[in-house]
Amino acid sequence: MTLDVGVSEELAHAPTAPTDDADAPRDGKKKFPVSQVIGPLVLLALFIGLWYLMHSWGLRYFFDKDGHRLIPTPTRVWHDTVIRPIARERYIEGIKWTGIVAYGGLLITIVVGISLAIVMSQAKWAESAIYPYLVALQAIPVLAVVPIIYSIFGGGLAPRFFVVIMIAFFPIVTNTLFGLNSADAGQHDLFTLRGASRWTRLVKLQLPAAMPNIFTGFRISAGLSVIGAVVGEQFFRTGSKPGVGIIMDLYRTKGNYPPLWGGIIIASGIGIITFFVFGIISKLVVGHWHEAQRGTS
Amino acid sequence: MRSKGRSPRAGSWLGFFLGVVGIIVALVLRPTREFEAIKLRRQRAVATETPSHDAAEHAARSNRRSEVGDAQPAPALTFSAVSMVFPDGTHALRETTFSVRPGEFVTVVGPSGCGKSTLLRIASGLNPATGGSVTVDSSRLGYVFQDATLLPWRTVLRNVELMAELEGIPRDERLGRALDAIDLVGLTGAEFKYPKQLSGGMKMRASLARSLVLNPKVFLFDEPFGAVDEITRERLNDEVIKLFQLEGFAGLFITHSISEAVFLSTRVLVMSARPGHIVADISVPFPYPRDPELRFDPAFAELCGQISHELRGVHA
C-alpha cells in the first residue's frame, strides 16, 4: 500500500515538468504578432524605400544607367504586370505551367530520391557505391547541360522536368539518408531483441525517425525546384507551353522591364509559398513530437 | 486559351485537391488508437462493477504466480563458462558461470568497464559470446536499457505496445496488455503523452512497461536508474520489487550502486575488473516485500560493507 502512495506522489509532481514545456511554445505564440510580423514589415518598407531611391537617383549616380527604365517604380511594375490584361493573362498561364513543371518534377524527385536513400540505407556498400555519384550530380553545372538536354528531348515538358530533377535531387537524398541513419543504437537494439525484419525496422523505426529530416529536404528542394523550372524555361522559349521563365525571357528581349520585374516577383512568390506550405505540412506531421526549429513557418 | 479542354483538367485538379484534403483529414484523425484505448478503459470500468468478467484473468495471474512458487524450478537463465573477446582484442568476460532461477533477483555489481553490460547483451542475444554457452527463453525476455530509448514519435501507450507489436501479438490483445502494464508501473493518465513531455523517471517507467507487456520470464536491467535522481531512484526500486513479486520473473540487474543491489536482490554477484568474472556470490536474506526503511537497518549496512569489501579486493 505504501508503494501505491509513492506512485501517486510522483504522478502528482510529474505534470509540473510537462506544463513547463507547454508554456514555452504558448509564450512564443504570444510574441508572434510583434516580432514575426512587424520585423518583416519594417524590412519590406526599407526595401521599397531603397527601390525608389535606386529608381530615381541611385542607378544614375552609381552606375550611370537609366534608373527610370531599368528599375521602374513598384506601382509601375504592379500596373504593367497585374492590371494590364495581356501581361496578366500571360502570367496566369505561366504560373500554371511553371507550377506543373516545378511540382511535377519535385514529386518525381521525392519518389525517386527517397527510394534511392532507402536503398542506400540498407547496405553500407550501396551507400559508398552511390554517394560519390550523387556529389558529382550535384557538382554538374546544370545550366551548361541544358542545351544538350534540349537537343535530345526537344522543347516539350520532359527536358524541363529533367532540369528540375537534377537540381532538386541531392538535398532530398542526403537529408533522407541522414534521417534514416539517425535512429540511435539503443532503439535499433530494441528491434534486434525481437528479431525484427529489415522491413519492420525500416517502417517502424527508420522512416519515422527520418521524417523531420525528410521534410527539411522537401523544403530545400521545393525552393530549388521552382528556380530550376524558371531557369530551365529560359532555354526552351520556343516551347508551346510558356512558363513564367519563358514569358520573362520574352519581355527581356523586348526590353520591357516592368513586367520582367513582375515575373521575378511572381517566381520568387511561388518559391516562398511552397516553402511555407511544406513548413506547415511538416509541422502537422512531426510537430507533435519533434522539437520545432526556428523559422519553419 | 482557357476554354480549351477545361473540364478534364478541372477534374484532375479536383482529384489532386481531394487527395490533399484526404491527407489532412487522415492527419487530424490520427489518434484513433487513443480512442480505442479510452473505449477499452470504459468497458473495463463497467466490467469491474460486475466482477465475473475479470475472474478468469485473475485466476490466470495467480496460476502463474503459484507456478513460480515451486520449490526448485529449472533455471530461467544459465551462463556456462561464457567468455567474450571483442574483435578489437578486448577481453571483456572470462569463464563466467552462474544461473538465475525463476523467483530469484540477481544483481551484478562491479567496477565500471568490467563487462557488466556485455553480460546482459550476451544474455539477450544482442551479442553472441565467443566462448561457452547461454541458455535462455528469448521469446519472453524483458530488457530495460540504461536510457529509456522510447520512440519519440509514439505516445506512451504506443511505445508500451511496441514490444508486443514486434512479437506479433494481435492488436486487441496487446492494447489490453499495454493498458495493464501502464497501470502497473503507475503511468495511468499519461498514456497519450509523448516522451518529450515526460520526466526522466516517467520515461523509465514507460520503458519498464514496454517489457512487462511480454509477461517476461527473464527480466534484464542494465543500470536503468543510473540517470535519475536519488529520490526517484528509490521510488523506482520499490516499484521494481513490486513488479518482481507480482510477475514472478527471474531478474538480472546491473548496477554500480551497492545499496541498490542489496535492496533489490536475493543474490548479489561481485565481478572483477576486466576481463570480468564473478569473484563472490552473496545471498541477501531479507524477506519481500522490502520496506524502504530497510535501507537504515544495521544488517543492511553490514551486508553493504561486506560487498564493498569484496569490490575493493577486486580493485587491489
* Nearest C-alpha in B relative to A210: B153
> Position A277: which residue type?
V
B259 — pLDDT class (breaks 50, 70, 90):
confident
Distance from the Cα of A154 to chain B's closest Cα (Å) equals: 23
Count contacts between A and B (CB, < 8 Å): 93
A24 CB within 8 Å of a chain B CB: no
Share of chain B above pLDDT 70, in %: 86
**Mutant choice from A190, A198, A202 vs B, greatest count of B C-beta within 10 A:** A190
A253 CB within 8 Å of a chain B CB: no
A202 — pLDDT class (breaks 50, 70, 90):
very high
Give the pLDDT score at B314. Answer: 57
- Pairwise CB contact (< 8 Å): B186 & A21: no
For range A242-252, the mean pLDDT: 84
State the residue for C-alpha cell 505551367: A97
Give the pLDDT score at B49. Answer: 63
Beta bridge partners of B91: B85
**C-alpha grid cell, residue A14:** 510529474
Q: Lowest-confidence range among B5-19, B242-256, B295-309?
A: B5-19
Distance from the Cα of A267 to chain B's closest Cα (Å) equals: 21
So where are chain B's domains? 66-315
Q: Lowest-confidence range among A11-20, B72-81, B150-159, B257-266?
A: A11-20
For range B205-209, the mean pLDDT: 91
For range A57-82, the mean pLDDT: 81
Cα gap B63→B57, rounded to integer Å: 10
Encode pLDDT of B274-310 as tens digits. Answer: 777 888 888 888 887 888 888 888 888 888 888 888 8
Cα gap B182→B200, rounded to integer Å: 16
How does the average pLDDT of chain B come out, rounded? Answer: 81
Helix (H, G, I), strand (E, B) or coil at B2: coil
Contact (Cβ atoms closer than 8 angstroms) between residue B126 and residue A189: yes
B91 CB within 8 Å of a chain A CB: no
Give the pLDDT score at A112. Answer: 94
Cα gap A195→B236, rounded to integer Å: 29
Q: Lowest-confidence range among A169-183, A219-233, A246-260, B66-80?
A: B66-80
Give the pLDDT score at A5. Answer: 38
Cα gap A271→A104, rounded to integer Å: 14
Distance from the Cα of B53 to chain A's closest Cα (Å) equals: 25
For range A263-286, the mean pLDDT: 87
Q: Lowest-confidence range among A150-154, A222-226, B84-88?
A: A150-154
Residue B44 parent element (H or E): helix B32-49
Cβ atoms within 10 Å, residue A131: 14
> Position A240: which residue type?
S
Give the pLDDT score at A32. Answer: 59
**Mutant choice from A20, A88, A194 vs B, greatest count of B C-beta within 10 A:** A194
Encode pLDDT of B106-130 as tens digits. Answer: 999 888 777 788 888 888 888 888 8
DSSP β-ladder status, B77-85 and B91-100: antiparallel
Give the pLDDT score at B31. Answer: 64
**Mutant choice from B197, B241, B243 vs A, greatest count of A C-beta within 10 A:** B197
Q: 3-state SS of chain A?
A: CHHHHHHHHHHHHCCHHHHHHHHHHHHHHHHHHHHHHHHHHHHHHHHHHHHHHHHHHHHHHHHCCCHHHHCCCHHHHHHHHHHCHHHHHHHHHHHHHHHHHHHHHHHHHHHHHHHHHHHHHHCHHHHHHHHHHHHHHHHCCHHHHHHHHHHHHCCCCHHHHHHHHHHHHHHHHHHHHHHHCCCCHHHHHHHHHCCCCHHHHHHHHHHHHHHHHHHHHHHHHHHHHHHHHHHHHCCCCCCCCCCHHHHHHHHHHHCCHHHHHHHHHHHHHHHHHHHHHHHHHHHHHHCCCCCCCCCCC
State the residue for C-alpha cell 537524398: A173
Residues 31-90 of B with CB under 8 A from A: none
For range B200-206, the mean pLDDT: 89
Distance from the Cα of B100 to chain A's closest Cα (Å) equals: 20
Residues 170-199 of A with CB under 8 A from B: 184, 186-187, 189-196
Of A296, A286, A254, A274, the C-alpha closest to A90 is A254
Q: Considering only CB atoms, which chain A residues are within 8 Å of B124?
A: 193
Strand arrangement of the beta sheet that strand B77-85 belongs to:
B91-100, B77-85, B131-136
Residue A76 has pLDDT above 50, yes or no: yes
- Pairwise CB contact (< 8 Å): B194 & A190: no
How does the average pLDDT of chain A come out, rounded? Answer: 80
State the residue for C-alpha cell 569490490: B311
CATH class of the domain comprising B66-315: alpha beta
B240 CB within 8 Å of a chain A CB: no
